[in-house]
Amino acid sequence: MLKGKCVVLGVTGSIAAYKIASLASALVKLGADVNVIMTKNATNFINPITFETLTSNKCLVDTFDRNFQFNVEHVALAKRADIFMVAPASANVIGKMAHGIADDMLTTTILAAKCKKLVSPAMNTNMFENQIVQDNLETLRKYGFEIIDPANGYLACGDTGAGKMPEPEVLLQYIIRELAHNHDMVGKKVLVTAGPTEEAIDPVRYITNHSTGKMGYAIAKAAMERGADVTLVSGPVAIEPPMFVNVVPVRSAAEMAEVVKNAAGECDIIIKSAAVADYRPINVATEKIKKKDGEASCIELERTEDILAYLGAHRKEGQFICGFSMETENMLENSSAKLKKKNVDMIVANNLRTSGAGFGTDTNVVTLITADGAKELPIMTKEEVAHAIFDEIVGR
Ligand SMILES: Cc1cc2nc3c(=O)[nH]c(=O)nc-3n(C[C@H](O)[C@H](O)[C@H](O)COP(=O)(O)O)c2cc1C
C-alpha cells in the first residue's frame, strides 16, 4: 500500500517515544521506506538500534555524523521524504520548529523538507495548555504543518487530561490518508449511507435486516482516502467508523431519509449502500390474537420511503447517484430496470446466491451497472470494491 513511499519519522524526548516502534514496524509492513530521526534526548527513551532493526535504515541522531550514504544527509533525506511526521513532538521541538531553530538533525531536516509535515504533540497537560506551546502550535499551523490533536487520558506523569499521543494505529491512518491513494477526489463532497435501519415495533422489539455496514464503511473510507469530504449516515452497526469521516448515526429509515434529504443538495456524489428496512410498523394491536398454539400480536406495516427514488427525482445538476441492489435471481435485468426507474447513474448489483458476496463477509462480488452497460468484477475485498466504484465514477 505504501510501496515506494519515503516516510520520515521524527522522534523526540517524550515517554511516548517507545510507541513509535510499532508505527515504524506497521509502515514497513505496508511497504514504506521508513527513516527515523531522533533527538539526542529521545535516545534516553528508546534505543536507535530498535528503529534500525525495524526499518533496515540508519537511525539518524547526530547532524555531524560522517557515516552517511549521502554527503549532506539532512538535505538528501528532506528531498526524498513524501511525508514527515514528528511523533511524539516535545514542547521543546515544537518551539524550535515554530521559530526556525535548526540545532540538531531532526529540526534541521524538517526545515529543509517541502513535503507534508505532521506534528503529534505529547506532553503533560499543563505544558500542552501553556499559552507558549499553544502559540507555537498556531505558528506551525500558519506555516502549513498539520497538528494532530492529542488524546485525553491518563498521562505517564500521573495527571489526567489532554496531552497524550494518539495510539500508533491512529497515527498510521494519518500517513495512509496522505500517501496510500491518488487524491483524485479532492473538493468533492460525498454522502454515503450504510448499515441496516431499525423500525421499532414497541420499546423492545424492532424490524431490521442482516446488514453489518462493512460495504458502506469501506466506501466512505475509500472516498476519504482519495481526498473527498465525506459524510457517512449510518444505521446501527458494530464496526468502528473510518477516521476523517463525518459520521451521522441514525436508527430508523425515517431518520436516515431526513438526514440524507437535508445533506443531498450539497453533495457531488451520493452512494446509497444502506440496507433500509422495507417496512415499518404503524399499528401494533394491543389485544393479542388467540391462536391454537398461543397468542400473537397483529402488526400493521407500511412501506418505508424509497430514499434512492427520492434522490433520483431531486438530483442536482452534475450530481452522481449510485444505489445498491441485492438480488437472488435475474440480477442484471432487475438492476438495469432499477437504474432507469429510479433515475440514478449506477447500480452496484450483487447476487446473494454467490459465495463471498453480500452481508457480513469481508469480500463482495459485484457488477457495476450504468447506462453504458454492465461491468462484472471478480471477487474482491470490500475496500477494493469501494475503490473500483470510485475508479468508475471518477474516470467518467
Ligand atoms: C521521564 C521524562 C518524560 C518526559 N516526557 C516529555 C513529554 O512527554 N513531552 C515533552 O515535551 N517533554 C518531556 N520531557 C522533557 C523533555 O525530554 C525535555 O524537554 C527535553 O529537553 C526534550 O528534548 P528534545 O525536544 O530535544 O527531544 C520528559 C522528560 C523526562 C525525564
CB 265 within 8 Å of CB 286 = no
Cβ of residue 46 lying under 6 Å from some atom of ligand 1: no
Write down the pLDDT at residue 67: 64
Cα 46 to ligand 1 centre (Å): 13
Angle CA(58)–CA(61)–CA(66) in degrees, nearest 5?
70
pLDDT score of 291 more than 70:
no
> Ligand 1, residues 41, 45, 109: which to mutate, most atoms within 8 A of Cβ?
41
**For the purposes of burial, counting CB atoms within 10 Å of the CB of 119, is it exposed (0-12), middle (13-18) or buried (19 or more)?**
buried
Q: According to CATH, where is 3.40.50.10300 located in the chain?
A: 189-394
Cβ of residue 136 lying under 6 Å from some atom of ligand 1: no
Radius of gyration of the chain (CA): 26
CA–CA gap between residue 220 and residue 112 (Å, rounded): 35
Going by pLDDT thresholds of 50, 70 and 90, the confidence category of residue 155 is confident
- Report CA-CA distances (Å) from 348 to 11, 44, 217, 345: 45, 54, 15, 10
Cα 31 to ligand 1 centre (Å): 31
Cβ of residue 122 lying under 6 Å from some atom of ligand 1: yes
DSSP state at residue 121: E
Write down the pLDDT at residue 328: 75
Nearest CA to ligand 1 atom 20: 13
Cα 38 to ligand 1 centre (Å): 13
Whose cell is 469501494? That residue is 386
Cα 5 to ligand 1 centre (Å): 30
157 a catalytic residue:
yes
Task: Specify the higher pLDDT residue, 127 or 331.
Answer: 127
Task: Specify the higher pLDDT residue, 220 or 359.
Answer: 220
Task: Specify the higher pLDDT residue, 299 or 318.
Answer: 318
Cα atoms in the Cβ-side hemisphere of radius 13 Å centred on 361: 16
Query: 27-36, 223-232, 269-278, 359-368: which has the minimum mean pLDDT?
Result: 359-368
Percent of the chain whose predicted confidence (pLDDT) is above 70: 94
- The answer, as to whether pTM is greater than 0.75, is yes
Fold (CATH) for 6-179: Rossmann fold (3.40.50)
User: Can you give the length of the chain in residues?
Assistant: 396
CATH number for the segment(s) 189-394: 3.40.50.10300
Write down the pLDDT at residue 257: 97
In the structure grid, which three cell numbers stand for residue 26, read together?
Answer: 506497521
Report whether 33 belongs to an annotated binding site: no
Q: According to CATH, where is 3.40.50.1950 located in the chain?
A: 6-179
pLDDT score of 357 more than 70:
no
